[in-house]
Amino acid sequence: MRVGVPQEVAPGECRVALVPETVSRLGEGVTVVVAAGAGVAAGFPDEAYREAGAELGDPWAADVVVKVAAPSAEEAARLRSGQVLVAFLAPLTDRAGVERLAAAGVHGLALESIPRITRAQPMDALSSQATVAGYKAALIAADRLPRFLPMLMTAAGTIPPAKVLVLGAGVAGLQAIATARRLGAVVSSFDVRPAVKEQVESLGATFLDLGIHGEETEGGYARELTAEQQAAQQAELQTRIPQFDAVITTAAIPGRPAPKLITAEAVSAMRPGSVVVDLAAETGGNCELTQPGREVVEGGVTIVGTTNLPSTMATHASQLLSRNMAAILGLLVKDGELVLDWDDEIVAGACVTREQVAA
């Protein structure tokens, strides 16, 4: 079986879907074909792939193509019927992209659609990349703040620790909490899923009780709040937010625009020099003033809307993603042959488009 690794073409995308370390572990019968230069932006030169046993060549002719971002129209035109594609296909939001794959007869396996069951944990690319994003968000907050994060006792007197609020305590939020805590900040957090309180507290942060209790779906995701609940959350946050030096927001509902948690009015109540790092920028932002892909200053408050934070740490983000990919490939290969087992709930769950074979 041949596995192709194209060069990513989306602007600003530095990650690569397979790194050399994983190539050498894919086992007998699997040949990896990497596009020349595909790993360079993530710190993996062609030579490292060759040493790991990969071929350099045309990845699009392979049986399985592994990618980070969904293919562009030009890339999709290179795929053929019956081929398998594994990538972040944005199945809930990129309808045109998914239809393109369906029309081409490609077996599209979306990383976002892998069921979040225990057996699939090593394949959970949403979690691996959210871990990177949460860590980086805390570092960005620390970097943009004109203050120390830890308490400092110096000959010139004592500096109190910074106060950080993390909104949304899923995978990214919990990593942001842990990182901000390691840097010495005093951290509080809020999430609409009640189950999260214990996880927040186990990291040494305080769970902020906003009086809003949302629901959790079977998959562990939050349900969207009602308009009344959302308004109550905004109002409650507005009174609390001025106490914090930095706010990191990670709130998301799969397939929906990011919930607006921080109004423009709430930002105007923050002290000058405060920072908002909005991890939900890609889906519209948790803060009304976020500009996706940009960093802006409003009334002295820095609002960071940088998108694709995992790409800014492309080496480790790719390494983790590559291990997720290896676990997925492990499901698709039997004795060196590609075998799609539609009775496997992970394969069936991840599949968003499928080759139509005439009866």
Query: Interface residues with ligand NAD (CB under 6 A)?
Result: 116, 121, 124, 126-127, 130, 167-173, 190-193, 220-222, 225, 233, 250-254, 259, 261
Supply φ then ψ for residue 20, to 5 degrees. Answer: -55, -40
221 tagged catalytic = yes
Q: Which is nearer to ligand NAD, 111 or 252 (CB)?
A: 252
One-letter amino acid of 83: Q
Q: Least distance (Å) from ligand NAD to the CB of residue 193? A: 4
Shortest CB 191 distance to ligand NAD, Å: 4
- What's the min distance (Å) between Cβ of 343 and ligand NAD? 21
Q: 272: left (phi > 0), else alpha (psi -120 to 50), else beta? A: beta
Instruction: Tell me the C-alpha distance between 244 and 143, whole Å.
Output: 16
What CA–CA distance (Å, rounded) separates 194 from 204? 17
Query: H helices of 192-313, where?
Result: 196-202, 227-240, 264-268, 309-312
Nearer to ligand NAD among residue 22 and residue 250 (C-beta): 250
Q: Catalytic annotation on 50? A: no
- CB–CB of 94/71 below 8 Å? no
CB of 11 to ligand NAD, least distance (A): 23
Measured from the CB atom, the residue of 89 and 253 that comes closer to ligand NAD is 253
Query: Please, what is the minimum distance in Å from the beta carbon of residue 159 to ligand NAD?
Result: 30
Closer to ligand NAD by Cβ: residue 61 or 231: 231
Nearer to ligand NAD, 231 or 339 (CB): 231
Contacts 24+ apart (CB under 8 A), 8-12: 8/38, 8/41, 8/67, 8/68, 8/69, 9/69, 9/72, 9/75, 10/68, 10/69, 10/72, 12/307, 12/308, 12/311
- Among 121, 202, 243, 356, the one annotated catalytic: 121
Q: Active-site residue 100, yes or no? A: no
| Residue 351: its H or E element | strand 351-353
Exactly one of 2, 46, 221, 344 is catalytic; name it.
Answer: 221
Residue whose beta carbon is closest to ligand NAD: 170
Hey, which residues are catalytic here?
Answer: 116, 121, 124, 127, 221
